[in-house]
Structure 1
Amino acid sequence: MKKQLLPICIVLLLTGSLTAMAQAPDSSRIKALKAVTVTGQKPLIRQEADRLIYDFQADPDSKGSNVLEIMRKVPYLSLDAAGNILLKGNNSYRILINGKPSALLERDPSQLLRTIPASTIQQIEVITTPPAKYDGEGLTGIINIITIKRKADGYNGTVNASEKFPANGPGAGASFALKSGQLGISAFGGANRSDQPHARNDMQRHSAGEWPAYLEQQGDKRTGRRSAYLGTEISFEADSVHLLTAQFNISGNHSDGKGFLQSNLSNPLATLQRYYLNSADDGNGNSMDAGINYQITSRKNKNNLLTFSYRYMTNGRKQGYEQIFTDTINYSIPGYRQHDNETFREHALQADYVRTFKQFSMEAGVKGIWRNNNSDFRYEYYQPSSGKFEPDPSSNRFNGNQDIFSVYNSYTFSTKKWDLKGGVRVEQTFMSAAFQSDSMHVDQQFLNVLPSLIINRKLNSNSSLNLGISRRLKRPNIYRLNPFTDRSNPSSESTGNPALRPSSITDLQLSYNWSKKMSVNAGISYSYNKHMFMEITSFDTTRYITRTAIQNNVRGGGLALNYSINYPILRWLNLNINGNAVYISVKGGSDETTVRLHTWIYALNTAAAVRLNKGWRLNASMNYIGRNQVSLQAYANAMISTSFGFNKELIKDKLSCSGTINNPCTQYRNNHTTTKGDLFTQDNHTQEYFRTVNMSINYNFGKLRQDIKKNKRGIKNDDGN
């Protein structure tokens, strides 16, 4: 028992005393750039000249966890209170799978990664200063997820099954690889069921103005979700010069929910409005992408490449929401429905050329992207006279297009002590938006010049210093452009903005990496944003509702401190600490309100693992999230979560089982979000299951001898759309 308590005590003690800062460098991975490898008893982190790599297969916790849970331990990455991924404290980034964009992760990456077993993933690469070859979008960088690729003549794979209760539910995932002569095939997939049988939601709002009022709402909701995904990749090596690869990914999900809400609006003298609401919602989502890459390699120099790529992607979502009102006072709507059908399609063509010399290399390429977004949204009100729901005239159809044309050129120079990479990317964007029912039409075009410079100085065999400077973009996607107004809560409305323009960021970061028995990554960065997308909420004094819209006139900067420590204290005891602190200073607003924000955001994750005899392993972790800034006007309360688990190897390198209990002392998580405006203060409270138990079993099979070749270039739409 003492051995089991030891890692927990060490985690709690070190959590309060460590204030180190760490951040990994960023540059482009070319043969000329040498890697710095973190060494240790079982290395989890490797720092290369252009990226930081976290090895899932070196982390025994991956056998009983999903990808999202392990991401808490990856340098630069953190999760907010809602489980959304943050890179350097920011939610603007691009996620790739095996170096390529995937429709699986276009809409809600956190939701999908929560369903993927970590045992099916080889490693995660974090690129915080992407070189010029990457698309300009994704303000803070790129997260590249590499699935298991142990491919040779023969086959191998892994299978994982898990059950989590009382919330969420069962899930299963698998990966598989096959190689036969010149042909190689790999695949990963899975399915998951996630249920929340209880989610309490309350809200209080105090409004000022000529007629002050107080709104109080109390409600509860049940939700359920079913999802499945499949990803495949095929490689055909015609000869030593010609390589053809293709990928295909598909996913689908269904969600439903039922809830009730009691609402009362009053002033000191009387009840202004009251109703009792029963609601039901239903939604379906799907995504698909397919691509092909043709690579030609020089016979004289295998690092000289010419690659042609094509990719098609589509995803869609249908959502329906219905409300029935009873026991009403001064509320005339007996029933209401809203529907929104969104579709996104994209075609992309790309050509890349790489030429290398002894200490010098050059990259160049061109690319075209053609996107189409459309939304068909309808509102219906119940008419007691006919007993039917009748369409509302405000229903409409929105159609938007984005055409992006880009060219890039970059150069790398490498010596024994120095790696330098500089380049520039030029992107021309054409945007248009139109509505079916009126003459409103939006046309915009933007030219963006995006330079980048990466300098890596190797101090000795165990340490390096990196400086990165870059400019990045974020273009508005269908979810921000869509003017559909969400009226699922009668006391508030939210809508997109079809006139949004791209946001830009200039980023400067300096980082230090040291690795021996203990590995440390420490860094500091400063970013300045223009035309940021942020939600602005104002209060309508005539209707007593809040209206939230996305605005584009927010600007400001952020100073980020990142740190990561991985330390094998003893042969059988390992400690991991990962965190960041970000200071934000921005201002912006709308016609109704102007907002200034100056605040710190903190995140810290500590984890300890104990390796015992006979294949047993114990682990404990604690995750702290400080007051989280949800938007320019809204912030959420701080949160601490804990986890304790075990892993038992039943058959060496083949079969293992694991169990985890999360937050054993707290049954429910109470979330508080406060939003403040010129004329109102609103507090939202939700209560969800926090204590959960997870059981998992993992099986590896197969034996392989020779790696399958992969394209070194391909379409990488790193643009966050």
Structure 2
Amino acid sequence: MKIKILILFSLLNFTFVKAQNSAPETKNIGNVSGSISGKVVDKKTNEAIPYASVTIKDGAKVVSGGITKENGSFTISNLILQELTIEVQFMGYKKQVSNVTLNSENKNITLKTIALEEEATQLTEVSIVKERSSIEQKIDRKVVTVGKDLVASGTTASEIMNNIPTVSVDPQTKELSLRGNTNVKVLVDGKPTNIDATQLLQQIPSSSIKQIELITNPSAKYSPEGMSGIINIILHKNANTGFNGSINSGVTFGITPRLNTALNLNYKVGKVNIYSNYGLNHGKNRNHGYVNSFRPSLENEQQFEFNSLNTSHLLKLGMDYYIDDKNTFSIYTNQNITNGSGNGLTDVNYLSVLNSDSSQLFQSKSDNNTQTYDLDFKHDFTKKGENIEFQANVSNTKNKENTTYDSTEFNPNSNSSKINIVHGNTNYIQFNVDYVNPLTETTKLEVGAETRIQNTENNFDESTSKPSVFNSTTADNDFTFNRNISSLYTNYSKKWDKWSGQIGVRIENYAIDGDFQRNENSVNPTTSFSGNQTTKDNIFSVYPSAFFTYAANDKNSFNFNYSRRVDRPSIGQISPIRERTSPLVEFRGNPELEPQFTNSFEVNYTRTTKIGSITSGVFYRQINNEINRTIYKNPSDSKQDIVSYSNFDNNNAFGVETSANLKFAKWWSANASADAYFKTVKGTVENANTGLMENGEIDVVSFNARVNQTFTATKNLKINLFGMYRGRDLGLQFERSPMYKADIGATYSILKGKGSITGRLNDIFNNMHFQFDGSIPYKQAGAFYWESRTVYVGLNYMFGGGKNKALQRKQRDANETQSGGGMM
């Protein structure tokens, strides 16, 4: 990987030097060329301004350019002998324009000192991290722009997700859900990743995130995977002329401090734009909990303690090259490196003297490395709005885990030690071609194709020392899993009067081939297992979608949409090789698992008032072949349950939600949201009394609310107050108690608006914890606690210069819905 990164840096560095030191090709006659030199200073202080942008134009056409050195000087060579225009600009200053004439008698011109006048309002145009987060409702998504208030609420993407409307992260398992459903697809910059969403969100520093898009009903252009929708995380990418950037760094103080920092850099000159983002997240987490179980004849009390230390590095490096007005080439890479270590203790105390108490201590080390490379070429035709785009995305993920379990049963000769070593390797390739043609001013046609190829290999080795006379297993398990998806799509959109609409269809062929080799040898021969399990499937599916918007007037608009979606089983849900284990629970997949399909309907209403906008909506999902968890007794250990997955009958879910982005006064603004979900939870559990498997079903109503308020105390001081409430949630096995918290923070601007200092106290009353009470398959109750009350202190600073000249984001990266007549 180091060699690949070195090569990429070398290529980008070569392009950087060429862009800075070489002028674009010019038509010189007889090899006669000239040069222009000068120096740029601040008009008030007379201090040199480094990295100011210098652009040389022939009329409206850019012919050359560069940036000033540390002492403010510059020299632009290889210029044609003619009349030229010079533009000098720097962030926060007014642009300076002048004309010069190069001829045979005056080929090399040294200009008088160029003094730039400060323009305070310029900073607002290039603010990289906003003071306050904002929410914008679009036709098929909510777009949350991440401000300093959200960055300060948590060091990772996982922590700030709980502050996003309709999104929740389970505080114990870190499992992500959208609209109360965990079947959600996570993208980074519009692209899938090889990393499990639970792990991915804990690796991305919150300060590296620019926007979070909640796409609850994607159009036919996008993958139909994810029953409840798509969450697209957009990382920072600046596009200002010249050299500029920002640094955002903070420390969260809990029991132990945690670091969260990000550096954004951008250099744009002439036809080349080079950008990078580096994020670092480092820190230790501690949590503990208990579970009291009243399983007949096995009543027990379990105590848990967990400690983890994780360091993650996230690098995004890319370049846009504007070949000409019609053609653009882009390349970028994401490099994610995560190292983790942890330890934990589980004590099981049985209430009956007939059962021996036990204790399990584990120590774990893990490494995860993901490399992603993306190439994009876009061609604009002569016809306005007509274009074709080719894109290729390649990624590789390697992970390694080494965990030691030391178990003790308080019985003679019952100690055991197990070492689990897991190696995984996943390769992913994606190709896209997208064509857009505005047939008329009010109609548009889109067609495209996509191919996705994923290959995964995994090896699980378990060795045992000090074997227990009751149960001991040595395992050498391997699996390979191949998945190929080929897709074609088309969208047709039209605008008429106050209506606009888009209909589309996507067809896909889905093929999987999995080979799972299980070799598990126990001291008890009757529970040993050796053999292959395979899974193969080939499914052809059609996914229609429809979107309609009615704008009654400037203040009222309605949106109606429908799409068919699919939730395909993940590798973890399919693999029969155990994923993780504890003294009383083991997790395995089900190779027989099939995809579930969903018909999703939505209606949204947006009301625009003098103080802001309010969006309310209702949704309904009809689910076929639903995937749910199932629990059954481990045939190798009567004290242990196996948690797996299975397909069930059809199901229905619906909900209502509302969100508002309001400004009550010049000094008071707020983002608020509330939602309620109504669903039926199904699953299979084992009856603790009879030992038989039984289907369970229960109706659930859950309610959530969030309010994020900002108060402007002075020109430089802003105070932020956040509160959230997550209502009780009833599952098939247990009822989760309500959760709520309140945060308070403040941001103070410094250095004439170029920097800011942020402080925040999270969970003021220290009442956030996970508590449950269950009765299926047997009575149990418990709670888990973590470092919820923390103090955050952060610094944000913007530097460099250049007038904001934002590039048009590639359509697929922004995941924008395309349509005719500017309606979507």
- What secondary structure does 1:665 align onto? coil
Who is 1:139 aligned against? 227
Distance 2:161 2:406 in 1: 41
Distance 1:367 1:453 in 2: 20
Q: 1:43 to 1:527 in 2, by over 3 A?
A: same
- Structure 2 residue corresponding to 1:601, chosen from 702, 706, 714: 702
- What secondary structure does 2:206 align onto? coil
> Is 1:246 the equivalent of 2:331?
yes
Query: Where does structure 2 lack aligned partners over 5 or more consecutive residues?
Result: 1-130, 519-530, 686-691, 818-824
> Is 1:521 the equivalent of 2:618?
no
Distance 1:69 1:146 in 2: 16
Q: 1:483 to 1:458 in 2, by over 3 A?
A: same
Q: Which amino acid aligns with 1:610?
A: F
Deviation of 1:60 (Å): 5.8
Who is 1:152 aligned against? 240
Who is 1:695 aligned against? 793
> Is 1:411 the equivalent of 2:518?
no
Deviation of 1:305 (Å): 1.4
Deviation of 1:76 (Å): 3.6
Who is 1:677 aligned against? 776
Q: Matches of residues 244-323 of structure 1 in structure 2 within 5 Å?
A: 244-267=329-352, 270-301=353-384, 303-323=385-405
Q: Matches of residues 206-221 of structure 1 in structure 2 within 5 Å?
A: 206-208=294-296, 212-221=297-306
Q: 1:716 to 1:457 in 2, by over 3 A?
A: closer
Contact residue 434 and residue 442 of structure 1 kept, 8 A: yes
Who is 2:203 aligned against? 112
Deviation of 1:698 (Å): 0.5
Deviation of 1:632 (Å): 4.3
Distance 1:396 1:61 in 2: 43
Distance 2:514 2:214 in 1: 34
Deviation of 1:497 (Å): 1.8
Deviation of 1:85 (Å): 4.1
Who is 2:642 aligned against? 547
- What secondary structure does 2:753 align onto? coil
- What secondary structure does 1:207 align onto? coil
Residues 431-440 or 539-548, more deviating: 539-548
Deviation of 1:363 (Å): 0.8
Deviations along 1:262-310, one digit per CA (max 9) or x if unpaired, are 223344xx33122233321222212121111121211232x11112221
Contact residue 483 and residue 498 of structure 1 kept, 8 A: yes
TM-score with structure 1 setting the length: 0.85
Q: 1:316 to 1:625 in 2, by over 3 A?
A: farther
Q: Matches of residues 471-620 of structure 1 in structure 2 within 5 Å?
A: 471-486=564-579, 488-516=581-609, 517-539=611-633, 543-553=638-648, 555-589=650-684, 592-620=693-721
Distance 1:157 1:592 in 2: 59
Deviation of 1:395 (Å): 2.3
Q: Which amino acid aligns with 1:235?
A: D
Who is 2:178 aligned against? 87
- What secondary structure does 1:273 align onto? coil
For CA contacts below 8 A with separation 6 or more, give which structure has more relative contact order: 1
Deviation of 1:634 (Å): 4.0
Who is 1:225 aligned against? 310
Who is 1:9 aligned against? none
Contact residue 309 and residue 715 of structure 1 kept, 8 A: no
Count of aligned pairs = 660
> Is 1:342 the equivalent of 2:437?
no
Contact residue 221 and residue 257 of structure 1 kept, 8 A: yes
- What secondary structure does 1:263 align onto? strand
- Structure 2 residue corresponding to 1:450, chosen from 523, 543, 546: 543
Distance 2:795 2:133 in 1: 24
> Is 1:627 the equivalent of 2:710?
no
Deviation of 1:639 (Å): 0.9
Q: Which amino acid aligns with 1:503?
A: Q
Who is 1:425 aligned against? 506
Q: Matches of residues 626-645 of structure 1 in structure 2 within 5 Å?
A: 626-628=727-729, 632-645=732-745
Residues 341-350 or 445-454, more deviating: 341-350
Distance 1:381 1:102 in 2: 34
Who is 2:807 aligned against? 708
Contact residue 670 and residue 685 of structure 1 kept, 8 A: yes
Deviation of 1:713 (Å): 4.6
Deviation of 1:703 (Å): 2.4
Deviations along 1:539-598, one digit per CA (max 9) or x if unpaired, are 459712222112222541111111112222221012221121111114342782311021
Q: 1:77 to 1:261 in 2, by over 3 A?
A: closer
Deviation of 1:683 (Å): 3.0
Who is 1:363 aligned against? 446
Contact residue 159 and residue 175 of structure 1 kept, 8 A: yes
Who is 2:144 aligned against? 54
Distance 1:711 1:373 in 2: 29
Q: Which amino acid aligns with 2:505?
A: V
Contact residue 523 and residue 563 of structure 1 kept, 8 A: yes
> Is 1:193 the equivalent of 2:294?
no
- What secondary structure does 2:648 align onto? strand
- What secondary structure does 1:440 align onto? strand
- What secondary structure does 1:497 align onto? coil
Deviation of 1:348 (Å): 1.4
- What secondary structure does 1:485 align onto? coil
Deviations along 1:224-274, one digit per CA (max 9) or x if unpaired, are 11111111232111111221111210111122122323223344xx33122
Q: Matches of residues 427-442 of structure 1 in structure 2 within 5 Å?
A: 427-436=508-517, 438-442=531-535
Q: 1:183 to 1:104 in 2, by over 3 A?
A: farther
Q: 1:43 to 1:393 in 2, by over 3 A?
A: closer
Q: Matches of residues 2-41 of structure 1 in structure 2 within 5 Å?
A: none
Q: 1:336 to 1:61 in 2, by over 3 A?
A: closer
Distance 1:560 1:132 in 2: 23
Q: Which amino acid aligns with 1:651?
A: L
Q: Which amino acid aligns with 1:677?
A: I
Q: 1:293 to 1:676 in 2, by over 3 A?
A: farther
Who is 2:17 aligned against? none
Who is 1:27 aligned against? none
Distance 1:440 1:103 in 2: 23
Q: 1:350 to 1:232 in 2, by over 3 A?
A: same
Deviation of 1:131 (Å): 0.8
Deviation of 1:717 (Å): 14
Contact residue 254 and residue 284 of structure 1 kept, 8 A: yes
Deviation of 1:699 (Å): 0.5
Distance 2:454 2:322 in 1: 32
Distance 1:278 1:189 in 2: 36
Contact residue 375 and residue 482 of structure 1 kept, 8 A: no
> Is 1:653 the equivalent of 2:717?
no
Contact residue 185 and residue 230 of structure 2 kept, 8 A: yes
Distance 2:588 2:259 in 1: 35
Who is 1:31 aligned against? none
Deviations along 1:417-470, one digit per CA (max 9) or x if unpaired, are 111100111111111111345343221111211110111001111221011111
Residues 410-419 or 79-88, more deviating: 79-88
Distance 1:413 1:339 in 2: 56
> Is 1:203 the equivalent of 2:306?
no
Q: Which amino acid aligns with 1:241?
A: K
- What secondary structure does 2:625 align onto? strand
Contact residue 516 and residue 576 of structure 2 kept, 8 A: no
Q: Which amino acid aligns with 2:785?
A: Q
Contact residue 342 and residue 363 of structure 2 kept, 8 A: yes
Who is 2:62 aligned against? none
> Is 1:180 the equivalent of 2:269?
yes
Deviation of 1:64 (Å): 7.3
Who is 2:457 aligned against? 374
Contact residue 80 and residue 628 of structure 1 kept, 8 A: no
Distance 2:715 2:581 in 1: 55
- What secondary structure does 2:325 align onto? coil
Contact residue 149 and residue 720 of structure 2 kept, 8 A: no
